Amino acid sequence: MALLVTLIEVGRSSMTERNEIQQTFDAFGKSEGMVKKSGSWYKAEGEVTRVVNLQKSQYGRRYYVNVGYWLQAIEEAKFPPSEQCHILIRLDSLIADREVEVNELLDFASEIPAEERTQRLGDLLTSRLRPVLEQGASLEGLRKLRSEGLLKGAGIRGPAISVSRLI
């Protein structure tokens, strides 16, 4: 319900030119208590900064949701760019059992009515992304995500490669 209320608030704001994917994504970030900076949403608490970013394809009207984890034990940063996060994975890889649905919802080539796209995408972000973001708030939570196979498609970047034992 909080996401729906936030979505309505976002829709009433000056961002009326933003499409339903962008509005739904922003409503999700806001409803999660995240902070928006440079187009990405951040939640920095404790050991891990979580980053979600909506990326537009340069080849069409398709979007990707990037999910990043910045390990504060390696280097402290308040707003690390998503592409520089120590662990980075796309939403469709993170919830691989719903990959087809994620790809349909994020691609305007899929002829889904705007209201239906908004509802389904909001539900997916709330039911599937929220728990993964919450669990990834700590190194122990990241270890659990990794042991459950949810980070199988993730890229481990930069200094995290040499200290991947942290997770």
Report the predicted TM-score, pTM, of the whole model to 2 decimal places: 0.86
Q: pLDDT digit string (tens) for 20-58?
A: 999 999 999 999 999 999 999 999 988 999 999 999 999
Q: pLDDT digit string (tens) for 67-122?
A: 999 999 998 999 999 999 999 999 999 999 999 999 999 999 999 999 999 999 99
C-alpha span between 153 and 9 (Å, rounded): 34
Instruction: Name the 3-class secondary structure at 16.
Output: coil
pLDDT confidence of residue 160:
76
One-letter amino acid identity for 112?
Answer: I
Cβ(18)–Cβ(7) below 8 Å = no
CA 111 to chain centre: 23
pLDDT confidence of residue 14:
42
Among 73, 74, 56, smallest CA distance to 65 is for: 56
C-alpha span between 97 and 105 (Å, rounded): 14
One-letter amino acid identity for 72?
Answer: Q
DSSP 59: S
C-alpha span between 78 and 9 (Å, rounded): 27
pLDDT(5) > 90: no
pLDDT(11) > 50: no
Cβ(76)–Cβ(93) below 8 Å = no
